[in-house]
Amino acid sequence: MSAIQGGQATQPTTPLARRISATTSAAVGASTAVELRDPPEAMSRRGPKSGATELAAAAGVTSDRAEAPAPTERCADERRIADERCELATRARSRSDAAADALRLAQRSYDTHEAAAVTAAWGADPRAIHDAKDSAQGGFRAAVQAAKTPDALELAARDWLNEINRINADARAASAAATREHAAAAAIGATLERLGLEADAARIGAENADAACLQARILVAECDERTTTDEAYLVPVAPSEPWPPRLDEDETLGLAFEGGGMPRIFRLLRGDRQAMTSVVATLADGDAEARRRWQLQMTSLVEAIVADAIEASALEFPDGHAFWGAFNRVQCRDIAHALASLGYRFDGLGGWTDERFPSQRDMSLALGYAGLDPMRVRHWPTAEETAALFSDVTVTADEYLAGIAGDLTLAEMVTMLGRRADGLADVWNNWGRIRPLLLEEA
């Protein structure tokens, strides 16, 4: 159902690096970037296992002094490979952006030269020159008829000749400008195809690198989650033994939402401060600096999910409302989505983004875009009522999340959030620890 489940349909039997390489090659079609950040500091605080401990673990011997391996120790290879893949993805995305910018700049320059050439060509057009000279001739005749002295006649003739010279000079300059601009456009046009191919190649390379980074992060998250939640990994096992696959419940959040459950992620989306405090405290593990960092990261994650739900018009509308009450839930969401497409967006706080709300004509257009007949509306809201149209509307972010990312896997979350996921690298690096906390029932 998810990219994680699809990537581990069979139990790996090859060495770790080869297994991760084979898994990432299957994710070439993904297109969501995961930005690289510094690796977790927990790795630097833990020393490597001693040789005696490793030999005891390989032999299946335990002692009272032996400790269970920490998640970062167990997943060190996966994390190292993920960091390498994401570093390459960051560089590939930078090259792709640079190539795309170069192509846009060349295309803009080409269009500018072509537009200037067309404008200059109008000035050098023989018909335009002929019309200008006819106009000058008409002015000369009028001046001759109005002249009363020889000096006036001479002045009219001189003005006419000067006007003819100006028209001819302007025509020559326009012709030269048109030739020059066409040549400049042609020179740039010769590079457009090459720049386009380079931009496409860089984009495809960046997408492949992003897919490899994402899949590597998924393996890290799965490894962390197995290590922290599965009792089997509290007992050291031989390194050569394959790890059993993790068995997920199908659509965990969907089942919880339909059954009235309250996973911690639902409480976070509904603004439960106690739930946020408990998650942050668990992740920080008593470190004050880490507590501030995780408070910011988890708040950003919740805000990104809510913003995505608002963009998808996952809203709940009040019953009996003078306007919304005339439509069912789906129709209300279609209207809100149509209004957003016209530039009138819900801000998530009961108002309009930038305090910009639609007119009656815009409301009528939105109904039409939503496939509804505006004639069925008997009472259109006034300007004051339109300004308060979203005052009692709420965001159903929990329902939206359950429908889009029902298992709360890393692949589902990154795909759902799109570009909003780029600033949450610390969250994705530790998703194996975070996901069980978010799925935990209140």
DSSP 209-262: HHHHHHHHHHHHHHHHHHHHH-GGGGS---TTSPPPPP-PPTTHHHHHHHTT--
Of 35 and 166, more confident:
166
pLDDT of residue 257: 81
Mean pLDDT of 53-79: 49
Instruction: List the single range of 117-131, 150-164, 247-261, 345-359 with lowest mean pLDDT.
Output: 247-261
Residues 6+ apart with CB under 8 A from 377: 323, 326, 367
pLDDT tens for residues 283-319? 998 888 999 999 999 999 999 999 999 998 899 999 8
pLDDT of residue 281: 92
Nearest by Cα to 356 from 364, 347, 348:
347
pLDDT of residue 196: 87
Mean pLDDT of 242-255: 51
> What burial class does residue 10 get, using C-beta atoms within 10 Å of its C-beta: 0-12 exposed, 13-18 middle, 19+ buried?
exposed
- Classified as helix, coil or strand, 352 is strand
Mean pLDDT of 273-287: 91
pLDDT at 11 over 50: no
Nearest by Cα to 74 from 37, 45, 49:
49
C-alpha to C-alpha distance for 82 and 92, rounded to whole angstroms: 15
Mean pLDDT of 47-70: 39
Of 257 and 101, more confident:
101
Of 257 and 438, more confident:
438
Mean pLDDT of 195-204: 86
pLDDT band, very low/low/confident/very high, at 233 (cuts 50, 70, 90): very low
The mean of the pLDDT values for the chain is 77
Instruction: List the single range of 31-40, 336-345, 419-428 with lowest mean pLDDT.
Output: 31-40
pLDDT at 3 over 80: no
pLDDT band, very low/low/confident/very high, at 339 (cuts 50, 70, 90): very high
Helices (H) and strands (E) in the chain, counts: 19, 2
Burial 227-250 (b: 16+ CB within 10 A, else e): bbeeeebeebeeeeeebeeeebee
Mean pLDDT of 381-406: 89
Report strand pairing: 315-316 vs 394-395. antiparallel
pLDDT tens for residues 28-56? 334 444 443 444 443 333 343 333 333 33
Mean pLDDT of 142-164: 83
Nearest by Cα to 398 from 323, 308, 324:
308
pLDDT of residue 34: 41
pLDDT tens for residues 103-136? 999 899 989 988 888 888 888 888 888 888 888 8
pLDDT of residue 251: 66
Contact 31, 210 (CB under 8 A): yes
Neighbour tally for 65: CB within 10 Å: 6
pLDDT at 326 over 90: no
pLDDT band, very low/low/confident/very high, at 230 (cuts 50, 70, 90): low
Contact 269, 305 (CB under 8 A): yes
pLDDT band, very low/low/confident/very high, at 371 (cuts 50, 70, 90): confident
pLDDT at 194 over 60: yes
C-alpha to C-alpha distance for 433 and 220, rounded to whole angstroms: 10
Mean pLDDT of 174-192: 87
- Cα angle 436, 397, 384 (rounded to 5 degrees) comes to 160
